């Protein structure tokens, strides 16, 4: 199949820094070179999510995400067609979801927990990146993020971490770590990785003329 886009899959545990990395990459690249796709925007409605043995919703299962729709949308972007998705608001009823338009770009950055587990998505990637961070660092970031952005209390976050997040990380992500082309260690920052990846993506996107990256 003829392709005009370079697809990059970024996987890592919750709190490893997937979203932060792809946003930093997009900012570091020339404007318009890359678009971002988050697996989170393919979550099924909360009523379609499974409950654990204690009756708590488990958002950390592959069947809770429409990965087939993600695969279709990626193929559409590669074919040169824009896609439209409603923003996932993490079930915050007071937040109105935005309509997200994604246009075909030379580089497509895809991040999510299950992007390696789902074979139809995994096989589309030209480059697979795994973000490594200790479980302690991931938990600390998740506690801070979920309190600030999603309105979860520490008790809820710790329950999800023990019963949902860690099992998902070990069952649906770590088994695919060896399939990745690059591993980024994000224990305290990823600035060097962004610089290396930026240069690689510029080359992979077919930009051969020198460009001024000062200030990006």
Assess if residue 213 is contained within a domain.
no
Radius of gyration of the chain (CA): 17
Assess if residue 196 is contained within a domain.
no
Assess if residue 21 is contained within a domain.
yes
118-154 pLDDT tens trace: 999 999 999 999 999 998 999 999 888 877 777 788 8
Assess if residue 194 is contained within a domain.
no
Alpha-carbon torsion angle 202, 216, 70, 74, nearest 10: -30
Assess if residue 28 is contained within a domain.
yes
Whole-prediction pTM: 0.86
**Residue position matching structure tokens 């008790």:** 155
Mean pLDDT, residues 1-25: 87
> Would you state the structure tokens that stand for residue 152, as one six-digit string?
């979860």
- 18-28 vs 191-204: helix crossing angle, rounded to 10: 60
- Report which of residues 92 and 120 the model is more confident about: 120
Assess if residue 209 is contained within a domain.
no
Assess if residue 3 is contained within a domain.
no
E strands, the chain, are 6-12, 34-38, 50-51, 57-58, 83-86, 99-102, 107-111, 127-132, 182-185
Q: Which domain holds residue 158?
A: 9-105+113-188
The domain that holds 74 is classified in CATH as 3.40.50.300
Assess if residue 207 is contained within a domain.
no
Residue 189: per-residue pLDDT: 84
35-80 pLDDT tens trace: 999 999 999 999 999 999 999 999 999 999 999 999 999 999 999 9
Confidence of residue 92 (pLDDT cuts 50, 70, 90): low
- Number of structural domains in the chain: 1
């Amino acid at each position: 199949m003829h392709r005009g886009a370079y697809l990059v899959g970024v996987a890592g545990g919750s709190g490893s820094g997937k979203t932060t990395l792809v946003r930093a990459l997009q900012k570091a690249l020339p404007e318009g070179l890359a678009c971002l796709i988050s697996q989170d925007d393919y979550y099924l409605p909360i009523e379609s999510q499974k409950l654990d043995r204690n009756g708590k919703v488990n958002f950390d299962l592959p069947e809770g995400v429409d990965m087939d729709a993600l695969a279709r949308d990626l193929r559409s972007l590669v074919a040169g067609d824009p896609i439209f998705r409603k923003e996932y608001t993490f079930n915050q009823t007071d937040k109105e979801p935005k309509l997200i338009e994604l246009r075909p770009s030379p580089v497509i950055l895809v991040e999510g927990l299950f992007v390696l587990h789902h074979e139809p998505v995994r096989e589309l990637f030209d480059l697979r990146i795994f973000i490594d961070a200790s479980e302690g660092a991931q938990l600390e970031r998740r506690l801070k993020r979920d309190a600030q952005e999603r309105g979860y209390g520490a008790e809820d976050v710790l329950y999800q971490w023990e019963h949902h997040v860690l099992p998902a990380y070990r069952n649906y992500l770590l088994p695919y770590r060896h399939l990745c082309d690059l591993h980024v260690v994000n224990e305290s920052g990823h600035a060097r990785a962004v610089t290396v990846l930026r240069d690689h993506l510029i080359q992979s996107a077919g930009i051969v003329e020198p460009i001024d990256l000062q200030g990006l």
